[in-house]
């Protein structure tokens, strides 16, 4: 795989067709806002300063709207606003980004080589591209140039069978959305299985497929740099 085989294991978990979502990207900072120093509490229970103008800070804060008054009236009403804009985050892990089979005889084979986990605090869109049967790599035509390839998920092979095998090429037309949920916040975990069908007509050769899966956060804030995930250099 060119990038990662992720979220195949979640094809039937909290999935709905991907669609354009109208999320609020975050409000602009008030005119005249001034950044103030912030601290975060680390795992040792110590406060650590993040300074100001720190694009890699975990959180930043601005103050605005100074007010004052002076006269002899009895009471004063001071309007106060405390606002927080929380960015979407994602955490994922995968036990491997490549499978390698060594096959002595024709047959149908399956393996669960990879464990996968995913966390996020909002919807995550999934785009599949380039998935296909394993293809003949060497010169010459061979007899059959592909190995039929399938994917499924589950804790055991029996669960993978029950969940059903998806033909590799069918994934390219199955862009999905994992919806925001308590389970997604806590973390989804499963095993990813693959199945191949090696036939008598498959010539001895090397076979391979390279593909990509793109995970896209659906509630990006305008103040986050989408390439780095840090704060943009100029805050609005």
> What pLDDT is stored for residue 94 in this prediction?
86
Residue 15 within any structural domain of the chain: yes
> What pLDDT is stored for residue 4 in this prediction?
36
Say if residue 51 is in the same domain as residue 38: yes
- Using the structure block, give the residue that is written with the tokens 């680390």: 42
> What pLDDT is stored for residue 23 in this prediction?
59
Using 50 as the pLDDT threshold, list the residues of the chain that sit under it: 1-22
Question: pLDDT tens-digit profile of 13-65?
Answer: 334 434 444 457 888 999 999 999 999 999 999 999 999 999 999 999 999 99
Say if residue 17 is in the same domain as residue 103: yes
Say if residue 18 is in the same domain as residue 132: yes
Last residue of a domain, one of 84, 112, 130: 84
Say if residue 79 is in the same domain as residue 151: no
Residue 211 within any structural domain of the chain: yes
Residue 187 within any structural domain of the chain: yes
Say if residue 15 is in the same domain as residue 58: no
| One-character DSSP codes across the chain | --S---SGGGTTSSEEE---------PPPPTT-EEE-EEEE-TTS-EEEEESS-TT-S--EEE-------SS-S-----------PPP-EEEEES-S------SS-EEEEEEEEEEEEEESS-EEEEEES---EEE-SSS--SB-EEEEEEEE-SSHHHHHHH--EEGGGGGG--EEE---HHHHH-EEEEEEEEEEE-TTB-SS-EE---EEEEEES---TTB-TTTSSB-SS--
Residue 172 within any structural domain of the chain: yes
Whole-number average pLDDT of the chain: 87
Q: How many domains is the chain built from? A: 2
Say if residue 153 is in the same domain as residue 64: no
Residue 153 within any structural domain of the chain: yes
Residue 233 within any structural domain of the chain: no
Say if residue 18 is in the same domain as residue 123: yes
Residue 52 within any structural domain of the chain: yes
CATH number at 94 reads 2.60.40
Residues in a beta bridge with 177? 16, 125
**Where in the sequence is the domain holding 183, given as residue range(s)?**
8-22+89-217
Residue 175 within any structural domain of the chain: yes
Q: pTM (2 decimals)?
A: 0.79
Say if residue 193 is in the same domain as residue 173: yes
Say if residue 78 is in the same domain as residue 155: no
Say if residue 135 is in the same domain as residue 67: no
Say if residue 67 is in the same domain as residue 162: no
Say if residue 135 is in the same domain as residue 184: yes
């Amino acid at each position: 795989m060119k990038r990662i085989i992720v979220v195949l294991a979640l094809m039937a978990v909290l999935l709905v067709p991907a669609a354009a979502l109208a999320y609020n990207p975050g409000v602009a900072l008030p005119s005249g806002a001034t950044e103030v120093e912030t601290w975060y509490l680390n795992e040792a229970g110590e406060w650590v300063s993040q300074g100001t103008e720190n694009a890699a800070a975990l959180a930043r804060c601005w103050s605005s709207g100074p007010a004052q008054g002076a006269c002899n009236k009895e009471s004063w009403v001071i309007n106060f606003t405390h606002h927080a804009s929380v960015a979407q985050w994602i955490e994922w892990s995968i036990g491997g980004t490549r499978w390698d089979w060594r096959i002595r005889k024709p047959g149908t084979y399956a393996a669960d080589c990879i464990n996968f986990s995913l966390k996020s605090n909002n919807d995550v869109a999934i785009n599949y591209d380039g998935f296909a049967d394993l293809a003949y790599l060497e010169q010459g035509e061979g007899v059959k140039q592909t190995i039929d390839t399938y994917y499924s998920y589950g804790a055991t092979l029996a669960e993978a069978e029950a969940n059903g095998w998806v033909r590799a090429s069918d994934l390219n037309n199955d862009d999905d959305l994992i919806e925001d949920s308590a389970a997604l916040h806590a973390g989804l975990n499963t095993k990813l299985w693959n199945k191949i069908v090696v036939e008598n007509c498959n010539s001895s050769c090397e076979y391979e497929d390279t593909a990509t899966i793109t995970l896209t956060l659906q509630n990006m804030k305008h103040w986050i740099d989408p390439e780095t995930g840090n704060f943009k250099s100029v805050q609005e």
